[in-house]
């Protein structure tokens, strides 16, 4: 059964680093690429980056300097780290694989 679960802190202070985990079941990370997508409240979807099945990464041009995606294939987990968070980074963060989406994790950036 396919399941994706995003986890991480609900609240992050400005200028701090966001760390999120996407735990995948039903797909092998060495066979499929995992994507991170975010959505500011009431707005559209924004593609953040990709962990390819072969370990290569690709990032949104606007976020590239702050963003890092990594993985642990033994745990079937993909990690997102983004530094220097600001209030406009507030929103719901999703991971997706093979057309399946997680429920998302809401992140609020506030002091």
Q: How far apart are CA 77 and CA 23, in angstroms?
A: 5
Which of 107, 104, 98 lies closest to 29 in space, CA to CA? 98
Three-state SS for 10? coil
Report whether 29 contacts 47 (CB < 8 A): no
Binding site for another protein (CB under 8 A): 35, 37, 44-47, 49-50, 58-61, 94, 96, 99-104
Q: Which is nearer to another protein, 15 or 103 (CB)?
A: 103
CB of 47 to another protein, least distance (A): 5
Q: Which is nearer to another protein, 90 or 92 (CB)?
A: 92
CB of 74 to another protein, least distance (A): 26
């Amino acid at each position: 059964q396919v399941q994706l679960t995003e986890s991480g802190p609900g609240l992050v202070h400005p200028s701090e680093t966001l760390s999120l985990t996407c735990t995948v079941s039903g797909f092998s990370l060495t066979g499929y690429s995992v994507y991170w997508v975010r959505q500011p409240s009431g707005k559209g979807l924004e593609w953040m980056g990709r962990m390819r099945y072969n370990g290569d990464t690709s990032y949104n041009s606007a976020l590239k300097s702050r963003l890092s995606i990594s993985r642990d294939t033994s745990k079937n987990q993909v990690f997102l780290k983004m530094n220097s968070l600001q209030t406009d980074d507030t929103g719901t963060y999703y991971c997706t694989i093979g057309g399946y989406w997680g429920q998302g994790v809401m992140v609020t950036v506030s002091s």
